[in-house]
Amino acid sequence: MVWRPTLPTKDNNVRLEVRKTYKLYIGGAFPRSESGRSYVVNDAKGKFLANASQASRKDARDAVVAARKAFGGWSGKTAYNRGQVLYRIAEVMEGRHEQFTLEVAASEGLSASKARAVVDASIDRWVWYAGWADKLAQVVGSSNPVAGPYFDFSLPEATGVVAVLAPQDSSLLGLTSVIAPAIVSGNTVVAVSSYERPLPAVTLGEMMATSDLPGGVVNLLTGSASEIGPWLASHLDVNAIDLCGISDAEEARELEALAAENLKRVRRPAAEDWSESPGMSRLTQYLELKTVWHPIGV
Amino acid sequence: MDLWIARTPTAGIRIRLPSVTTLDSGVDSLADVTSSEDRLRRFLLGLPGVDQVGAEARAATLSTRSIKTTAKAYALDLAIRMIDLTTLEGQDTPGKVRALCAKAKRPDPADPSAPQVAAVCVYPDLVATAKHELRGSGINVASVATAFPSGRSSLAIKVQDTKDAVAAGADEVDMVIDRGAFLSGRYGLVFDEITAIREAAGDAHLKVILETGELVTYDNVRRASWLAMLAGADFIKTSTGKVSPAATLPVTLIMLEAVRDYHETTGLHIGVKPAGGIRTAKDAIKYLVTVNETAGPDWLDPELFRFGASSLLNDLLMQRTKLATGHYPGPDYFTLD
Angstroms from A254 CA to nearest CA on chain B? 14
Among candidates A53, A28, A32, which has minimal Cα distance to A224? A53
pLDDT number for residue B278: 96
Domain of residue A118, residue span: 23-40+57-295
B322: closest chain A residue by CA: A235
With a CB cutoff of 8 Å and minimum separation 6, the contacts of A233 are A163, A241, A255, A256, A258, A259, A264
CB B176 within 8 A of CB B273: no
CB B110 within 8 A of CB B150: no
B158, pLDDT greater than 80: yes
Q: Which residues of B touch A234 (CB under 8 A)?
A: 326-328
From the candidates B207, B237, B286, B315, give the one annotated as an active-site residue: B237
Condensed to tens digits (0 to 9), the pLDDT of residues B57-83 reads 999 999 999 999 999 999 999 999 999
pLDDT number for residue A6: 62
B1, pLDDT greater than 90: no
A235/B330 Cβ within 8 A: yes
From the candidates B174, B234, B283, B315, give the one annotated as an active-site residue: B174
Q: Would you give per-residue pLDDT tens digits along chain A (298 residues)?
A: 566 666 666 666 677 777 777 999 999 999 999 999 999 999 999 999 999 999 999 999 999 999 999 999 999 999 999 999 999 999 999 999 999 999 999 999 999 999 999 999 999 999 999 999 999 999 999 999 999 999 999 999 999 999 999 999 999 999 999 999 999 999 999 999 999 999 999 999 999 999 999 999 999 999 999 999 999 999 999 999 999 999 999 999 999 999 999 999 999 999 999 999 999 999 999 999 999 999 998 7
pLDDT number for residue B23: 40
CB A171 within 8 A of CB A199: yes
pLDDT number for residue B13: 41
Q: Cβ of A7 under 8 Å from any chain B Cβ?
A: no
Residue ranges and CATH numbers for the domains of chain B are 4-10+22-325 (3.20.20.70)
When the pLDDT of each residue in chain B is averaged and rounded to a whole number, the result is: 91
CB B179 within 8 A of CB B151: yes
From the candidates B103, B158, B207, B273, give the one annotated as an active-site residue: B273
Q: What is the dihedral of CA B225, B227, B228, B230, to 10 degrees?
A: 120
With a CB cutoff of 8 Å and minimum separation 6, the contacts of A190 are A60, A63, A64, A67, A161, A162, A163, A164, A219, A221, A232, A238
* Percent of chain B with pLDDT strictly greater than 70: 92
B7, pLDDT greater than 60: no
* Integer Cα distance of B212 and B224 in angstroms: 9
Q: How many residues appear in chain B?
A: 337
For residue A1, tell me if it sits in a domain.
no
Which of B279, B323, B328 is the mutation pick for testing A, counting most A CBs within 10 A?
B328
Q: What is the dihedral of CA A111, A117, A119, A124, to 10 degrees?
A: -170
β-partners of residue A38 are A53
β-partners of residue B205 are B172
Condensed to tens digits (0 to 9), the pLDDT of residues B170-205 reads 999 999 999 999 999 999 999 999 999 999 999 999
H-helix or E-strand containing B188?
A: helix B187-201
For residue A8, tell me if it sits in a domain.
no
Q: Cβ of A234 under 8 Å from any chain B Cβ?
A: yes
Q: Which residues of B touch A238 (CB under 8 A)?
A: 330
Q: Which residues of A touch B329 (CB under 8 A)?
A: 236-237
Handedness of CA B120, B125, B129, B131 (dihedral sign): positive
Q: Which residues of A touch B324 (CB under 8 A)?
A: none
A65: closest chain B residue by CA: B330
With a CB cutoff of 8 Å and minimum separation 6, the contacts of A203 are A96, A99, A100, A103
CB A37 within 8 A of CB A53: yes
B249, pLDDT greater than 50: yes
Of A231, A236, A258, the CB nearest to B330: A236
Condensed to tens digits (0 to 9), the pLDDT of residues B273-287 reads 999 999 999 999 999
Q: Cβ of A235 under 8 Å from any chain B Cβ?
A: yes
Q: Which residues of A touch B328 (CB under 8 A)?
A: 61, 64, 231, 234-237
Angstroms from A61 CA to nearest CA on chain B? 8
Q: Can B103 be counted among the known catalytic residues?
A: no
Q: Report the pLDDT averaged over residues B294-303.
A: 96
For residue A283, tell me if it sits in a domain.
yes
For residue A14, tell me if it sits in a domain.
no
Angstroms from B328 CA to nearest CA on chain A? 5
CB B126 within 8 A of CB B144: no
B327/A237 Cβ within 8 A: no
For residue A123, tell me if it sits in a domain.
yes
**In total, how many domains does chain A have?**
1
Q: Which residues of B touch A257 (CB under 8 A)?
A: none
For residue A11, tell me if it sits in a domain.
no
Among candidates B117, B124, B102, B309, which has minimal Cα distance to B204? B124
Q: Cβ of A71 under 8 Å from any chain B Cβ?
A: no
pLDDT number for residue A7: 61
B330/A234 Cβ within 8 A: no
With a CB cutoff of 8 Å and minimum separation 6, the contacts of A64 are A161, A163, A190, A232, A235, A237, A238, B328
CA A69 to chain centre: 17
What is the DSSP secondary-structure string of A7-19? PP-SSS--PPP--
pLDDT number for residue B336: 80
pLDDT number for residue A15: 77
For residue A256, tell me if it sits in a domain.
yes
Angstroms from A17 CA to nearest CA on chain B? 36
Q: Which residues of A touch B330 (CB under 8 A)?
A: 68, 235-238, 262
Phi, psi at B305, each rounded to 5°: -145, 130
CB A176 within 8 A of CB A126: yes
CATH number at residue A280: 3.40.605.10
Write the ipTM.
0.83
On the question of a cis peptide bond just before residue B149, with omega within 30 degrees of 0, the verdict is yes
- ∠ CA A98-A103-A106, nearest 5°, is 125
For residue A152, tell me if it sits in a domain.
yes
* Integer Cα distance of B113 and A188 in angstroms: 35
pLDDT number for residue B32: 86
pLDDT number for residue A19: 73
Q: Can B237 be counted among the known catalytic residues?
A: yes
Angle separating helix axes B218-230 and B249-266, nearest 10 degrees: 40
Count how many pairs of residues, chain A against chain B, have C-beta atoms within 8 Å.
Answer: 26
